[in-house]
Amino acid sequence: MTAKIAYFSMEIALEEGMPTYSGGLGILAGDSIRSAAGLKIPLVAVSLLHRKGYFHQRLNKKGQQVEEPVEWPIQDFLKERSERVEVTIENRTVEIRAWEYRVQGPSGFFIPVYFLDTDLSDNAPEDRTLTHFLYGGDTHYRLCQEVILGIGGIRMLQALGFNQLTRIHMNEGHASLVGLELLEQAAAKRGGNDISLEDVEQVRKLCVFTTHTPVASGHDKFKLDLVKKVLDGHPAFQHKDLIFPEKMLNMTYLALNLSHYINGVGKRHREVSQLLFAKYTIDSITNGVHVPTWTSDPFQRLFDRYIPGWKNDNFTLRYALQIPKAEIWEAHTEAKSRLLELVNRQTNLDMQLDCFTIGFARRAAAYKRGDLIFSDLQRLREIVRNTGKIQLIFSGKAHPQDKSGKEVIFRIFKAIDALKADIKIAYLEEYDIDLAKHLTSGVDLWLNTPQVPLEASGTSGMKAALNGVPSFSVLDGWWIEGCIEGITGWAIASDNNNMHLALTDAELLYIKLEQVILPLFYHHRSKFIDIMTHSIALNGSFFNTDRMMQQYVMNAYFR
């Protein structure tokens, strides 16, 4: 079956060993493609090769991050294609090749993924490095990368024979230049170089756009001088009002203007985006995770026994309610011991299986507030002394240029040191797919403390839910939809208690940890397991990419 939908994403996470992603956006892209393969959705995906990856993270004793380049054996994972296409950057011709990866579903149906690469001997030295670093370099480097992804990507798909595309899906604004290329091609088809309003309408009919973040730094903007230099002579300059409102190239506005369907990644994120982009109609499709990928081995075996067919029909995870509690606990204990073995191998902390274990792992960005739980160290010591022991496991990389993100890691290390006599705390280097699998399945509680309303979705808590690990989170992103208080987990919120109205998020966190969560874990284990089971049954059955991709099919791809 030839592909009908082209999916463009700056990052796609496919497997351990391929450093072609930095965080949630890439993980979501990979999970979407895996679900598309399972559901036999005729889709083809395009990204950049990222020959030097994102980076290896090293943390010194003080918690200062040092980045090292990644070398990965591309040929072990990808097959080179012989097709070549060209784009023009600053009036130089840049040749592009593609490397193919096939994501195979259980039926044998596969989704081809193409990683674009400019490291070819005919290219100028500065152009050869354009597909080396994910989110590396300056704005000039980023714009050139986006020319390769958007304009080069469309040309490559055409060269590969994908000539019956009925939808182009821009996964975040990095790929918006797809629209410029389609406009130019539509004009050329009419024998001109002059873009008309009909061309714009035609491109809009083809394109759909998913916005992923309300954080301003997540929306690429380029000064017009720079755009003129890089894309000199492009016919898009005739339509300045459409392409360059605000006298900038704003990749988000370009995508908004050239798409007929736009969505945010959750209900709250839709509302926030609708306020940000008031002129446009924004729908929502709530994110998910790929169930077979993120379910740990012990839970895979348990589901195989009690929920036949769960991998192909994720809705059936609601039958998790039938699984005996003792077996849920046993599977969890196995996943937990695997994680603690890994932690104890990497540290000398000697973490204990019977100790309540809290996990927090995600990109180290200031708004995610990884150090919120350390706002009052004395309070935390008292909770542990009076109510029950805890141990904590952290992980996450900060973007090399994100100073405030790096400071979050630094502050967590300071707290680790200050608490070392009272609480065992690990910060693991190199957060990646494999570590995420261990962490989201192996802790007793998944903590999330973003600054409202900056978390568009978050997906790691969904991975945890599948493995019976409840979330304890600020009400933002997916948790607004996923939290049923005391049933699927807990909100870091005031619970309509007037006494709590003036309290900070940190104080609310301490109160509920001390009064509700720790007593439940240590003294009412059976009730705690009820919550674990409901995480699977209510949240695992819904927050998955099979359900999500079916919504994309219905709302964005085939209508």
Q: Which spans of this chain sit near ligand PLP (rule: CB under 6 A)? A: 23-24, 27, 362, 431-433, 436, 458-460, 463
CA–CA separation, 553 vs 559, rounded Å? 8
Helix, coil or strand: residue 160: coil
Give the number of other CB atoms < 10 A from CB of residue 66. 11
The conformation of residue 544, written as its DSSP 8-state character, comes to B
Q: Is residue 186 within 8 Å of residue 230, measured between CB atoms? A: no
- Alpha carbon distances (Å) from 305 to 106, 296, 309, 312, 525: 19, 14, 10, 15, 23
Q: How far apart are CA 288 and CA 165, in angstroms?
A: 25
Q: Helix, strand, coil: what percent of the chain each, to 5?
A: 45, 20, 35
Q: How far is the CB of 122 from ligand PLP (least distance, A)?
A: 36
| Measured distance between the N- and C-terminal CA atoms of the chain, rounded to whole angstroms | 19
* Minimum distance from residue 35 beta carbon to ligand PLP (Å): 15
CB of 321 to ligand PLP, least distance (A): 26
DSSP element (H, E) containing 249: strand 248-250
Name which of 433 and 465 has its Cβ closer to ligand PLP.
433
CB of 20 to ligand PLP, least distance (A): 12
Is 171 or 459 the residue whose CB approaches ligand PLP more closely?
Answer: 459
* Closest CB 335 distance from ligand PLP, rounded Å: 16
Instruction: Kindly state the tokens that stand for 301.
Output: 């075996």
Question: Minimum CB separation from ligand PLP for residue 478, in Å?
Answer: 9
Place of tokens 């990683």: 115
Nearer to ligand PLP, 146 or 455 (CB): 455
Query: Which residue's CB is nearer to ligand PLP, number 436 or number 548?
Result: 436
**388 CA to centre of own chain:** 34
Residue whose CB is less far from ligand PLP, 288 or 458 = 458
Least distance between ligand PLP and beta carbon 317 (Å): 19
Question: Cβ neighbours of residue 56 under 8 Å, at least 6 residues apart?
Answer: 67, 68, 69, 70, 430
* Cβ distance to ligand PLP smaller for residue 29 or 130: 29
Quote the least distance from Cβ 371 to ligand PLP, whole Å: 16
Q: Which is nearer to ligand PLP, 24 or 38 (CB)?
A: 24
Letter for the amino acid at 81?
R
Question: Which residues, including other chains, have CB under 8 Å from residue 419's CB and lie 6 or more apart?
Answer: 374, 377, 380, 381, 425
C-beta closer to ligand PLP: residue 42 or 218: 218
